Amino acid sequence: MTSGKVTSAEANPETAARFDELVEAFASIRDKTLTAAFLRDLCTTTEIDAMGQRLQVARLVNEGVSYQEISRRTGASTATVTRVAQWLHYGEGGYAAVLKRSRR
């Protein structure tokens, strides 16, 4: 299983299998245009916006911006900022790796 640590939501074998299938699908894409097309087909506009907001929050947390200021700039709740910060600092390392690769 590619999912590594299993969280409570992934304790369901069906959920874990779906997660692994998504990981494989994303890992197989090597082209930005195809990635964008897949995301647009897979997710609603609201889901895409929420994921983009979380990435923006992670970038600002990583830069040391205060949680209140991040909330003001991004429109994310302070609860979302806190949750993203927890995953950035204590999660699987995904946010940190993506931020490192996509330096703006």
Fold for domain 44-104? Trp Operon Repressor; Chain A (1.10.1270)
Give per-residue pLDDT as tens, 46-72: 999 999 999 999 999 999 999 999 999
Task: State how far the Cα of 36 lies from the Cα of 47, in Å rounded to an integer.
Answer: 13
**Where are the chain's structural domains?**
1-42, 44-104
Q: Tell me the two tokens of residue 11.
A: 């304790």
pLDDT for the residue numbered 7 = 57
User: Sorting pLDDT into bands at 50, 70 and 90, what band is 3?
Assistant: very low
Contacts of 99 (CB under 8 A, 6+ apart): 58, 59, 62
pLDDT for the residue numbered 104 = 59
Give per-residue pLDDT as tens, 68-89: 999 999 999 999 999 999 999 9
Give per-residue pLDDT as tens, 7-53: 555 578 999 999 999 999 999 999 999 999 999 999 999 999 999 99
